[in-house]
Amino acid sequence: MIHASDKRAQGLQYTPELIKDFDELFSATDWRSTVTQSRIVFSNFPVPRSASMQKAWHSVGNAWKPEFIGEDAEWGENELLPFLDLWSKNLDVRGEMFDLNMNLHLDSVAIDRDGDVFALLTEDNDGFPKVQKIGAHRVGDRVGSGGKAESGPFQGRAIRNGVIKNNFGRTLAYQILGDTADEDRIVDANDCIMLNDPDWHDQGRGVPAFAAVIPELRKAKTSEEWELMAQLVNSAHSLVEYNETGTADFTSDVANQGVGDDGLNVQSLSGGMIRYFKANSGAKLEAINSARPSDSWDVFQDRVQRLACTCVSWGYELTWKPEGLNSVSVRSVQDKARHAVARRQVVLRRGLMRQAEWAVTIGIKNGYLAAPTNAQDWDKFTFSLPPQMTIDPRHDSKTEMEDFKIGRKNMTQLLKRDGKTLVPHIKERLWEIVQRKLLKQEYELKYGVEIDDREIMMLTPNEMAEHEEIETPVKSNDNEE
């Protein structure tokens, strides 16, 4: 054995040869099975589901508002931004409920759960740009189709799990499956966008994030069901009576419920039972004591749940049990979550910018907005991000204030953490100042009282009114003549 990872190492199972292209290693059958089980995990395991949902919430939030960054500010303010705002509210063919924020949130969840999701670029009857989201299961192959495109510009090219590539691995088209084979269609990749977060260079389709832990989760779920069954059994048996016969004594108060001669009211417990066991000598009555589930079982279940959260790069402590964290570990968990959110935002932004840039071109073409005077400005826009997640906002605020004071960070950087941008922030502050001054003048004239600006808003103690200086009498020196 040359290396410790030799596939015939003693004590290990035989490892097949895996030096192949990813799409050959991970066949369409493997992909369908993995996505099916991942959807079961997402629907039946609260902790992994919550981890995926939380990452989506922090990645999307209530942000992603269009912002113009070009030269022709008038065109951006009056044409581009109003159009993008309208498109953000009406981009989905399903209606206004599925606006931009809802779509981005569902896109993030789908990437974790299914591995990928598709956005088909289309138009409505009035020529307004629309997007139709295609679920991962709607892009694929028909069993027995031969694995090649039978007609059209891609005729003869291989279809691997719904993806058609050229000889260099570039995606050319996708096969979208209808309800029947006759309704299947091949769509050019320029008109359909795949959103995924790949792990391999030659990966054709996305892989569910939970794929690495699906077997452990399903076994843990089975174990949990058995433990629940044990709890039901224990709950069903309330007392154990040991007697000489091993059967119920039908003359006892327990067997004959009601009010006995001694005035004792005997009733059965709802859902409970009494089990009788024959004793060799003596008789006694015992309550059922159960120590299940054990602490070791609970710890092992937590371990599996932690692995599932790791698969989506999310802290187990953020989702389920935060016990045992100190100030250092809290910031470590926060930093990892921030990196996961930033990575997901990169993936979402990549797909969104393609959709939005296409929408602007269609909007200009069909007269929904005027063309820019500066031809370079048509794609000079971006989208705002939500506030950066924080576990200790007071600590972060103090750190940012110190960074700003020493010039390590500027106001633009600080505002980005809060999901804001500089120009709207300054405009908002100026508007507040104007309103404060106008209201001050109005109330001074109305009540004839002079109002000091510092009485309305005082930012620091240095802005407090100066105290009148009081003359201090000078002591006389008796020795002076």
Name the least confident of 30-44, 84-98, 177-191, 319-333.
Answer: 319-333
Name the least confident of 70-74, 148-152, 277-281, 326-330.
Answer: 277-281
Q: Which long-range contacts (CB under 8 A, 24 or more apart) does 108-111 make?
A: 108/52, 108/55, 108/56, 108/59, 108/60, 108/344, 108/348, 109/52, 109/53, 109/56, 110/135, 110/136, 110/195, 111/195, 111/196, 111/197, 111/206, 111/209, 111/344, 111/347
Averaged over 409-438, what is the pLDDT?
A: 87
The model's confidence at residue 58, banded by pLDDT at 50, 70 and 90, is very high
Per-residue pLDDT, 266: 45
How many residues would you count in the chain? Answer: 481
Which of 122-136, 309-323, 400-414 shows the highest mean pLDDT? Answer: 122-136
pTM of the model: 0.80
Per-residue pLDDT, 1: 38
pLDDT digits (tens, 9 = 90+) for 129-187: 999 999 999 999 886 556 788 888 999 899 999 999 999 999 999 999 999 988 999 99
Would you say 58 and 341 are in contact if contact means Cβ atoms under 8 Å apart? yes
Q: How far apart (Å, rounded) are the C-alpha atoms in residues 314 and 339?
A: 10
Would you say 421 and 67 are in contact if contact means Cβ atoms under 8 Å apart? yes
Task: Please tell me whether residue 163 adopts helix, strand or coil conformation.
Answer: strand
Q: How far apart (Å, rounded) are the C-alpha atoms in residues 315 and 332?
A: 10
Would you say residue 108 has pLDDT above 70?
Answer: yes
Average pLDDT of the chain, as a whole number: 85
By DSSP bridging, strand 265-266 and strand 159-160 are unpaired
Task: Please tell me whether residue 475 adopts helix, strand or coil conformation.
Answer: coil
The model's confidence at residue 3, banded by pLDDT at 50, 70 and 90, is very low
Q: How far apart (Å, rounded) are the C-alpha atoms in residues 315 and 307?
A: 10
Would you say residue 256 has pLDDT above 70?
Answer: no
Cβ count near 373 (within 10 Å): 10
Would you say residue 260 has pLDDT above 80?
Answer: no
Would you say residue 280 has pLDDT above 80?
Answer: no
Per-residue pLDDT, 478: 55
Averaged over 447-464, what is the pLDDT?
A: 76
Per-residue pLDDT, 171: 95
Burial class (CB in 10 A: 0-12, 13-18, 19+), 10: exposed
The model's confidence at residue 265, banded by pLDDT at 50, 70 and 90, is very low
Per-residue pLDDT, 237: 67
More confident residue, 283 or 272: 283
Averaged over 225-245, what is the pLDDT?
A: 75
Per-residue pLDDT, 328: 80
Per-residue pLDDT, 13: 78
Q: How far apart (Å, rounded) are the C-alpha atoms in residues 193 and 136?
A: 12
What is the percent of the chain where pLDDT is above 70?
81
Q: Which two tokens stand for residue 241?
A: 């009576």
Would you say 186 and 195 are in contact if contact means Cβ atoms under 8 Å apart? no
Would you say 178 and 191 are in contact if contact means Cβ atoms under 8 Å apart? no
Give residues with Cβ within 8 angstroms of 79, minimum separation 6: 369, 370, 372
Name the least confident of 11-20, 346-355, 424-433.
Answer: 11-20
pLDDT digits (tens, 9 = 90+) for 179-193: 998 899 999 999 999
Q: What are phi and psi for residue 160, nearest 5 degrees?
A: -110, 105
Q: How far apart (Å, rounded) are the C-alpha atoms in residues 49 and 312?
A: 10
Per-residue pLDDT, 281: 54
Q: How far apart (Å, rounded) are the C-alpha atoms in residues 377 and 76?
A: 8
Task: Write the DSSP symbol of residue 278.
Answer: E
